[in-house]
Homo-oligomer: A and B are copies of this chain.
Amino acid sequence: MAILVVGSVAFDSIETPHGKVDHCLGGAATHFALAASYFTPVRVIAVVGRDFTAEHEAVLTRRGIDTQGIERSNGLSFHWTGSYSGHMDVAKTLGTDLNVFETFEPKIPDSYKDSEYLFLANIDPVLQARVRSEMPKVRMVCGDTMNYWIADHAANLAKVLRELDVLLINDGEARMLAGESNTVIAADKVMKMGPKTLVVKHGEYGATAFFSDRSFSNAKLSRPFRAPALPLAEVVDPTGAGDSFAGGFYGYLASQPELTPAVFRTAMFYGGVMGSFAVERFGTERLQNVSRQEIDERFNLFREISHLEHAGV
């Protein structure tokens, strides 16, 4: 079933030990949509400037992504400049030009209104809440946020958290949001703020899902679930890995008839799979061209590197 994603479609200028790219297509909604598109239909709400060309749009439409909700504004698109060095686990932001994103007012096309799955990518929680309120009938709401909103927009963020089925954030954000240094206790506190389930992303170490009594309607998982990440010999560009994880994860969930613990665990693996592809090339290059066969082969690889018994020796 279709996912509606609201978030940034942007340009990134990135330097890593493997090279440098200028103004490549990026943004949370872009990475998310491309990763999710291998599993389910995706519709995007975003705003772009006049620098967003037909070629950029074709990157999305070639993957069957609905771009009707991408508004064109008379200015430049959101542009992020950053670099990575050494072990590349931390991005150094060199510039953030919001441009047309600064006055972004999400508008939901009528044709999007029947979307059953909503993903609120990392944007101002005021906008996240507005989109959510305009989609009252969605079956599931999943969202992301970041330290900036947690620190300085807590009241607005609190409203969004109450609406979430699943919140996806990283370790530091989870602990910051809860004001608690232990991740397990932080997860409990965060889920008491609203999210039924919390997925904590660990970068190169994978991700952990924490469940509450409200996570599943017909089942209960009392233990967390930990999905691995793939140790990669070449990480070209980590930008968008977390959004790609979210796309693979939520795309798979939305493709399944029912949310069960087994479906959730599998979705966590597909999240890792799409994150692992994303970092192999600059920008969205790899996410544009991966095949379903490669995805399934890598899924099996994730199983092989983490399961006691598997098809190999």
Q: Which of A181, A187, A234 has the most CB of B within 10 A?
A: A181
A309 surroundings in chain B (CB, below 8 A): 262
> Whole-angstrom distance from the CB of A290 to the nearest CB of chain B?
19
Tell yes or no: A90 within 8 A of B by CB. no
By DSSP majority rule, is chain A's interface helix, strand, loop, or mixed?
A: loop
What residue in chain B is nearest A234 (Cβ atoms)?
A: B182
- How many residues of chain A have a CB within 8 Å of chain B? 47
> Whole-angstrom distance from the CB of A304 to the nearest CB of chain B?
6
> Whole-angstrom distance from the CB of A101 to the nearest CB of chain B?
33
Tell yes or no: A281 within 8 A of B by CB. no
Tell yes or no: A79 within 8 A of B by CB. no
In the complex, the answer to whether A182 meets B233 with C-beta atoms within 8 Å is: yes
Per the bound structure, the CA–CA distance linking A231 and B86 in Å amounts to 28
A219 surroundings in chain B (CB, below 8 A): 313
Tell yes or no: A252 within 8 A of B by CB. no
Return the CB mask of A178-192 against B: 1 if under 8 Å, else 0. Answer: 000111110100000
What residue in chain B is nearest A266 (Cβ atoms)?
A: B308
Return the CB mask of A214-246 against B: 1 if under 8 Å, else 0. Answer: 000001110111111001111100000000000
Per the bound structure, the CA–CA distance linking A233 and B288 in Å amounts to 40
Which A residues between 58 and 104 are near B, CB-CB below 8 angstroms?
86-88
